[in-house]
């Protein structure tokens, strides 16, 4: 991309450079443009160089040396395919014009093929040229051939054998993926979908998003770092920075409509160029070769690896102990919110990345943490001193639900598909983000107790957002999951979530049913506090039911009296009309 802009005609006399004011012939202009292109190419400003070289070729398309220079410039800009086309065209023109091969251009073809990672084709070209040229010209090809031979032998040497031996299954998977990708099926989409047994009604099928596990995300980040460190050492941080720039909202400000697009194009293209060069390096020296050379002694490398893993394991063990201390301290201090946040951060960011190798008691640790969390949540379910089940919203107070946030019941109109209004306040945004995070963790959770915890937290998050149906749905899933891990405590807590959701909505009968389900669990847990809590909730619900029933009766009486009055009024009018 070039920023060359044509000069406005009004300022033609003033703005034109001196050499553009002279009426040069095409030959002279061609030479000028070519020289400017060469100049900018030497200064590694390839956009300008390509611009001028293109103009020169527009004037003289058969100039093979200009084509050669453009090829050089395109190589620097990682435009290898274009460079190859230019070099081949230049060679062809040189043959037709001078009647002989140009060693410098043919050498460029070999170099471009090498940079395109077509080592075999490059080698073949070198051999062909070595049969054409003699002397110093031939020596250049010989030297390059040594390099290419060395690369091929390194790549296909013992390192490849070891790699194939280790990754036999992966090789087959990769091959199948490549074949699937290369397959061209021109049949209508519905026919293809029908053959695959999928829904063939949708004309634009949804592309399922690939869900990556936290471990995989971390692995890819680490692979990115290791990959670039292996080839460009400390400069890997620059590549990472360039990658982040491509998606950096501070750089790509949407309100800056003029510069945002330009900066996006610039950052992505520059990053793409760097990626191409990195691909070249990888092709010449794959990671399996680098690792093979670095860890040539397998016994020694295994020893170092085990030592490293033991160090990581030891540090992880220390971190686990520290985490447990922190959890116990927060529980003792009854800091439920901080504990929940700490557990989420610990389990969702740290523990999820640890394998069983470095975290030897991972399952036990998970149980300890989640059970502690459950106990802490259960300890919140206490009847406060001086509490009476009488009065309005008593159950909400008992459940520690906000009273002022109670919303009116929204009637559902059948057929109305208008979505619920979305909240944009910061709290709602944080809640949504948390929900997304929890759901992502849910996909990759392995242990039932972890799933119970996640489902409970998701339910709580939906409750905080006022999405009560989702809350009850996830709570029921948690109840079902708790059966797998025999966790009655998480089952109780999940039932309480249902109670909370129904209580907020004043669904008295459903609340009663939920409480009736919770009471046996409380008895099973043999916790007098929980039993008392549930009984008080039931009393509050009963009181609310009575009040509601009285209110309904009162309303009915008022309605009946109004109906009688209306009837009398109508009867009186009839008598008057008969008398008149």
Partner 1 sequence: MIGTSSGTSHNRSRKKKEQCGSCPNRFSKDKRQVAAEDSDTTEVESSTDEEERWKEVARAAEIPADYYNIQKLVKYIKAGNQTATIVSLCCLKDYDLSTQINQFAISDIGGLDVLVNILECSDTKCCLGALKVLSDITLNIDIRKTIVDLDGIPLIVDILNSSMKDLKTMAAETLANVCKVRLARKYVRTCGGIPKLVDLIDIKLSILKTPRDQLSPDDLESLDMTRAGARALFTLADSKHNMEQMRKSGIVPLMAQLLKSCHIDVVIPIMGTVRKCSSEPKFQLAITTEGMIPDIVSHLSSENTELKMEGSTAIYKCAFDGTTRDLVREAGGLEPLVTIIKDKNVRENKPLLRGATGAIWMCAVTDANVKVLDQLRTVNHLVALLNDECDEVLTNVTGAISECVRFQSNREQLRQAGGLPAMVSLLNSSHAPLLENLAKGLKECAEDPDSMRILEDLDAVRLIWSLLKNPTTRVQAHAAYAICPCVRNANDSAELVRSLVGAMELVVGLLKSKDIMVLSAVCAAIATIAQDQTNLAILTDLKVIYKLADLVQTTDDLLRMNLAAAVAACACFGNNTEELGRLRTVTPIVTYMTSDNPLVHRSTAMALEKLSMDPQNCITMHQSGVVPFLLECIGSTNKELQLAAAGCLRNIRELALRAEEYLLKIDDD
Question: What residue ranges bind partner 1 (CB under 8 A)?
Answer: 118-121, 123-124, 127, 131, 149, 152-153, 155-156, 160-161, 163-164, 167-168, 170-175, 177-178, 210, 216, 220, 223-224, 227, 243, 275, 282-283, 286-288
User: Which residue, among 338, 331, 350, 276, has the nearest Cα to 75 in the 3D structure?
Assistant: 276
Q: At what angle do helices 336-345 and 298-332 cross, to 10 degrees?
A: 170
Q: Nearer to partner 1 by C-beta: 48 or 141?
A: 141
**What is the spatial distance between Cα 185 and Cα 194, in angstroms, rounded to a whole number?**
14
Minimum distance from CB of 169 to partner 1 (Å)?
Answer: 10
Phi-psi region of 44 (alpha: psi -120 to 50; beta: other; left: phi over 0): left
CB-hemisphere CA count at 13 Å for 310? 6
The DSSP annotation for 167-226 comes to THHHHHHHHHHHHHHH----S-HHHHHHHTTS--S-SS---PPPP--HHHHHHHHHHHHH
**What is the spatial distance between Cα 31 and Cα 255, in angstroms, rounded to a whole number?**
44
Q: Where are the alpha helices (DSSP H) in 336-399?
A: 336-345, 362-379, 394-398
Q: Nearer to partner 1 by C-beta: 225 or 542?
A: 225
Q: Nearer to partner 1 by C-beta: 243 or 432?
A: 243
Minimum distance from CB of 299 to partner 1 (Å)?
Answer: 23
**What is the spatial distance between Cα 357 and Cα 287, in angstroms, rounded to a whole number?**
24
Q: Nearer to partner 1 by C-beta: 179 or 332?
A: 179
**What is the spatial distance between Cα 193 and Cα 181, in angstroms, rounded to a whole number?**
16
Q: Nearer to partner 1 by C-beta: 172 or 321?
A: 172
The CA-based angle 441-443-447, given to 5 degrees, is: 80
Minimum distance from CB of 36 to partner 1 (Å)?
Answer: 37
Minimum distance from CB of 227 to partner 1 (Å)?
Answer: 6
Q: Nearer to partner 1 by C-beta: 184 or 412?
A: 184
Beta strand spans in 113-158 (E): none
**What is the spatial distance between Cα 206 and Cα 193, in angstroms, rounded to a whole number?**
12
Minimum distance from CB of 456 to partner 1 (Å)?
Answer: 32
**What is the spatial distance between Cα 132 and Cα 134, in angstroms, rounded to a whole number?**
7
CB-hemisphere CA count at 13 Å for 77? 27
Minimum distance from CB of 172 to partner 1 (Å)?
Answer: 6
Minimum distance from CB of 285 to partner 1 (Å)?
Answer: 11
Minimum distance from CB of 178 to partner 1 (Å)?
Answer: 6
**What is the spatial distance between Cα 551 and Cα 469, in angstroms, rounded to a whole number?**
27
Q: Nearer to partner 1 by C-beta: 171 or 333?
A: 171
Minimum distance from CB of 141 to partner 1 (Å)?
Answer: 12
**CB-based contact 129:110 (threshold 8 Å):** yes
**CB-based contact 148:114 (threshold 8 Å):** yes
Q: Nearer to partner 1 by C-beta: 240 or 525?
A: 240
**What is the spatial distance between Cα 60 and Cα 459, in angstroms, rounded to a whole number?**
72
Minimum distance from CB of 130 to partner 1 (Å)?
Answer: 9
**CB-based contact 330:338 (threshold 8 Å):** yes
Under DSSP, is residue 422 helix (H, G, I), strand (E, B) or coil? coil
Q: Nearer to partner 1 by C-beta: 275 or 480?
A: 275
Q: Nearer to partner 1 by C-beta: 214 or 466?
A: 214
Under DSSP, is residue 580 helix (H, G, I), strand (E, B) or coil? coil
Q: Nearer to partner 1 by C-beta: 62 or 128?
A: 128
Minimum distance from CB of 85 to partner 1 (Å)?
Answer: 19
């Amino acid at each position: 991309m070039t920023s060359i802009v044509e000069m406005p005609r009004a300022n033609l006399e003033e703005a034109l450079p001196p050499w553009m004011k002279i009426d040069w012939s095409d030959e002279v202009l061609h030479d000028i443009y070519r020289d400017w292109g060469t100049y900018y190419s030497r200064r590694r400003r390839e956009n300008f160089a390509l611009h001028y070289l293109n103009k020169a070729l527009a004037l003289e398309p058969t100039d093979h040396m200009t084509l050669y220079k453009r090829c050089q410039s395109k190589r620097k800009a990682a435009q290898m395919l274009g460079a190859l086309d230019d070099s081949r065209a230049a060679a062809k023109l040189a043959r037709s014009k001078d009647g002989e091969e140009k060693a410098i251009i043919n050498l460029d073809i070999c170099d471009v093929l090498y940079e395109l990672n077509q080592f075999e084709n490059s080698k073949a070209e070198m051999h062909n040229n070595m049969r054409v040229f003699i002397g110093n010209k031939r020596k250049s090809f010989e030297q390059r051939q040594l390099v290419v031979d060395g690369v091929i032998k390194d790549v296909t040497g013992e390192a490849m054998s070891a790699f194939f031996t280790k990754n036999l299954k992966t090789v087959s998977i990769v091959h199948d993926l490549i074949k699937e990708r290369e397959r061209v099926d021109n049949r209508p989409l519905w026919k293809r979908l029908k053959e695959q047994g999928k829904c063939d009604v949708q004309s634009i099928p949804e592309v399922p998003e690939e869900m990556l596990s936290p471990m995989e995300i971390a692995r890819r980040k680490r692979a990115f770092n290791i990959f670039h460190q292996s080839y460009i050492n400390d400069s890997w941080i620059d590549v990472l920075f360039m990658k982040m720039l491509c998606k950096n909202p501070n750089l790509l400000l949407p309100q800056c409509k003029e510069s945002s697009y330009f900066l996006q194009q610039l950052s992505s293209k520059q990053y793409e160029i760097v990626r191409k060069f990195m691909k070249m390096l990888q092709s010449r020296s794959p990671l399996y070769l680098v690792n093979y050379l670095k860890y040539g002694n397998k016994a020694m490398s295994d020893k170092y690896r085990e030592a490293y893993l033991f160090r990581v394991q030891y540090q992880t063990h220390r971190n686990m102990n520290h985490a447990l201390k922190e959890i116990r301290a927060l529980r003792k201090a009854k800091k439920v919110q901080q504990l929940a946040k700490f557990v989420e951060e610990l389990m969702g960011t740290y523990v999820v990345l640890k394998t069983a190798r470095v975290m030897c008691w991972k399952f036990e640790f998970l149980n300890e943490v989640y059970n502690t969390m459950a106990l802490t949540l259960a300890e919140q379910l206490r009847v406060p001193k001086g509490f009476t089940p009488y009065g309005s919203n008593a159950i909400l107070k008992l459940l520690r639900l906000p009273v002022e946030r109670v919303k009116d019941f929204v009637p559902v109109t059948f057929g109305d598909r208008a979505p619920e209004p979305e909240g944009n306040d910061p709290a709602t945004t944080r809640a949504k983000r948390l929900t997304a995070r929890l759901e992502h963790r849910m996909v990759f959770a392995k242990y039932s107790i972890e799933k119970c915890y996640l489902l409970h937290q998701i339910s709580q998050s939906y409750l905080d957002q006022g999405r009560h149906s989702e809350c009850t749905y996830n709570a029921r899933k948690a109840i079902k999951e708790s059966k797998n891990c025999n966790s009655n405590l998480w089952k109780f807590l999940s039932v309480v979530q249902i109670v909370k959701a129904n209580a907020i909505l004043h669904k008295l009968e459903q609340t009663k049913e939920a409480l009736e389900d919770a009471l046996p669990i409380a008895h099973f847990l043999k916790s007098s506090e929980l039993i008392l809590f549930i009984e008080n909730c039931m009393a509050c619900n009963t009181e609310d039911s009575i009040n509601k029933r009285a209110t309904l009766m009162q309303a009915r009486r008022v309605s009946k009296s109004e109906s009688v009055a209306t009837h009398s009024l109508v009867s009186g009018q009839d008598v008057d009309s008969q008398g008149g």
